[in-house]
Amino acid sequence: MASRNPAFSRGFGNAGPGQQYAGWGNQSQYGAPQYGAPAPQQDPYAAPSPYGTSEATRYMTMDDVVQKTGLSFLVTVASAAVTWALLPQELAWGLALPSVLVAFVLGLVIAFKQIANPVATLAYGGLYGVALGAISEAFNDLYPGIVMQAVIGTFGVFAGMLVIYKTGAIRVTPKLTRWVVGALIGALVLLVTNWIVGIFTTGDPLGLRSGGAVAIGFSLLMIGIAAFMLLLDFDMADEAIRRGAPAKFAWYVAFGLLVTVVWLYIEILRLLSYFQDE
């Protein structure tokens, strides 16, 4: 069965039910019998248990996803809190830009190479936490209380989309995946176009971030895309479990969820700031 999630377009498609992720160098459990010799009787009780203690051999479970995702969010929030509470604002802003750039490059490497590694995922969360701490502090100084509103809104959307996914109200299908990815690409093209045109003009040429009606509509669009991306992330976790991915793959799932939630939080924070200016 072909994967519905673009994250599985490379390397994961050959892993069937009960098989480990192909990219982890999995070999045949029993090996091929010698030519001319009768096939040995397989003892089902002698087969290795998929619930062994080693992450390299046991299969991924939902508990693995929850634990790895929770730890990744904890590192991100802790990094943001330390940046906000302990660092002077000038130093925080000085660290924010290089942190974002390094995290961006690291995120591309993780995404394209499908790196399922705790160091990579937690480093990404820690780096983005520095930027989130500086950004949140700046927004909260301008609009007191806006950060708590954005946090509540972010987890509200997360919980809502999780309920929608679990109840099957919206099913992740190949058609839905194409629509969501297409909308994401279109939005990114608009942002890049707005940035390029802005280099040669002044202000916000397309009005995407000006705070007006167009900006509000665009932020709502981005929040909607991020919300549907959560459905794809949830489906990625379920599909990995169904296909028998190794436990370590949960770190890649946690990375995907972290990327989407951070993006969602920033867009909600930006949208709330537009209404504060009115």
Contact 5, 173 (CB under 8 A): no
Structure tokens at 46: 């002698």
Tell me what percent of the residues of the chain surpass a pLDDT of 70.
79
pLDDT of residue 12: 46
State pLDDT tens for residues 155-172: 999 999 999 999 989 999
Give me the pLDDT at residue 58, please.
82
Q: Residue range 230-251: average pLDDT?
A: 92
Give me 242's structure tokens: 């169904």
Least confident of 30-44, 65-79, 220-234, 252-266: 30-44
What residues contact residue 62 under an 8 Å CB cut-off, 6+ apart?
Answer: 237, 241
Average pLDDT over the chain, rounded to an integer? 80
CA 273 to chain CA centroid, nearest Å? 24
Q: Identify the pLDDT of residue 7.
A: 45
Q: Which amino acid is at 258?
A: L
Paired with 59 in beta bridges are 246
Which residue type, as a one-letter code, is found at position 78? A
User: In terms of C-beta distances under 8 Å and separation of at least 24 residues, what long-range contacts does 116-122 make, across chains too?
Assistant: 116/246, 116/248, 116/249, 116/250, 116/251, 116/252, 117/248, 117/251, 118/68, 118/251, 120/251, 120/255, 121/68, 121/72, 121/251, 121/252, 121/254, 121/255, 121/258, 122/71, 122/72, 122/75
pLDDT tens digits, one per residue of 83-121: 998 888 888 888 888 998 999 999 999 999 989 999 999
pLDDT tens digits, 175-212: 999 999 999 999 999 888 888 887 777 777 777 888 78
Instruction: Indicate whether 39 pLDDT > 70.
Output: no
